[in-house]
Amino acid sequence: MCTCLRTKATNGAVVVGRTMEFAVPLGSQVCVLPRGFQGRSRGPAGEGKQWTARHGVVGVSAFGDVQTLADGMNETGLYAGDLYLPGFTEYASPEGRDPATLLAPTDLVGFVLGTCATVAEARTAMRTVAVWPEVVKAMGFSPPLHLVLHDASGDAAVLEWRDGEMVEFDNPIGVTTNSPHFDWHYLNLRNYMTLSPKNPTEIKIEGVALSPLGQGVGLSGLPGDTSPPSRFVRATAFVASLMPIADGPAAEKMVLHVMNNFDIPEGSVRTSDGSSVERTYWTSVSNLRDLHYVIRSFEDPTPRLIDLASTDFSAGARQVPLPTDGFVEMSL
């Protein structure tokens, strides 16, 4: 259960927000991949796709592996994140394919951020590889993912895999959640065309005046549950109704406020037998123009900003744990 959305400031800055939800800890850490990083994916018989990173990358890893990125951005202002797509993902069969073209699902983000500068470049690069269903040991299965892309120009795309083939979608609205397929969500938005951030005007029925019961009545019917279709509609409504935002730093703050609406406290989403409980492990905000990457965790809601412009991308790959300090006491 993840939600990703984009805003644009009036000065042209593009800011992307994303939450990461899962039922078990992912061992996420904040990581840096330098220029020149040697990426090595895997195939069924050994090594798969290999690449040398042209761009420095900052992001969040999974399973303690610095190359296994779930989310991040690079120093050119390209964002990439993989979101869960269970029941609707069919990767390519590796049989008969050149091993040098095989890319594991967990390497999607690291590959495109290390080698590409724009969404267009990322789409072209992904056409040269075959994403196959590698089983992740920590999970016991191959994670069903789709790839979300944004860049500093405002271009956005979503890549999915159906019947073993990659399917590409433009994403002009800039919102992505989870299942079902991405194009279904755009079609579903038509069910909510009457919603508005403006309150309805007073009406009269048989001389009886009926006025709104407080503020926000124009959004009556906006779905409030945490299912992927509902989150997609809600995120689209919030982004579409934002007042003009001056610049990137202001947009970073605004995106954090919007992302609060998708934060899942532990206990509100459970399997039917109660054996699995989801929560929001972390939230990221990526300012693709000013090159800021902001992260906050479940244990520490204080946003921490990483300035890519001052990050050393000539040193080796490295990662540090997510912040867990929690609230800091103040003396007044």
The pLDDT tens digits of the residues spanning 1-56 come to: 899 999 999 999 999 999 999 888 889 999 999 999 999 999 999 999 999 999 99
- pTM to 2 decimal places: 0.95
Q: Which fold has domain 4-184+242-321?
A: Penicillin V Acylase; Chain A (3.60.60)
Here the tokens at position 232 are 């997609």
Q: Is residue 241 over pLDDT 80?
A: yes
Radius of gyration of the chain from its Cα atoms, rounded to whole angstroms: 21
Every domain of the chain and the residues it spans: 4-184+242-321
pLDDT of 191 reads: 97
Could you give the CA distance from residue 142 to residue 136 in angstroms, rounded to a whole number? 6
Q: Determine how many CB atoms are found less than 10 A away from the CB of residue 124.
A: 11
Using alpha carbons, list the distances in angstroms from residue 144 to 54, 87, 147, 178, 180.
27, 8, 10, 10, 12
**For 52, which DSSP code?**
E
Q: Are 62 and 315 in contact (CB under 8 A)?
A: no
Q: What is the 3-state secondary structure (H, E, C) of 166-199?
A: EEEEECCCCCECCCCCHHHHHHHHHHHCCCCCCC
Q: Are 42 and 134 in contact (CB under 8 A)?
A: yes
What string of DSSP letters covers 9-33?
-TTS-EEEEEEEEESS----EEEEE
Task: Determine what percent of the chain is predicted with pLDDT higher than 70.
Answer: 99
Mean pLDDT of the chain: 95
What string of DSSP letters covers 233-273?
HHHHHHHHHPPP--SHHHHHHHHHHHHGGG---TTSSB-TT
The pLDDT tens digits of the residues spanning 294-330 come to: 999 999 999 999 999 999 999 999 999 998 887 767 7
pLDDT of 24 reads: 81
pLDDT of 274 reads: 79
pLDDT of 109 reads: 98
Question: How many residues appear in the chain?
Answer: 332
Could you give the CA distance from residue 113 to residue 253 in angstroms, rounded to a whole number? 24
The pLDDT tens digits of the residues spanning 173-211 come to: 999 999 999 999 999 999 999 999 999 999 999 999 999
Measured between its terminal Cα atoms, the distance across the chain in Å is: 40
Here the tokens at position 118 are 């724009």
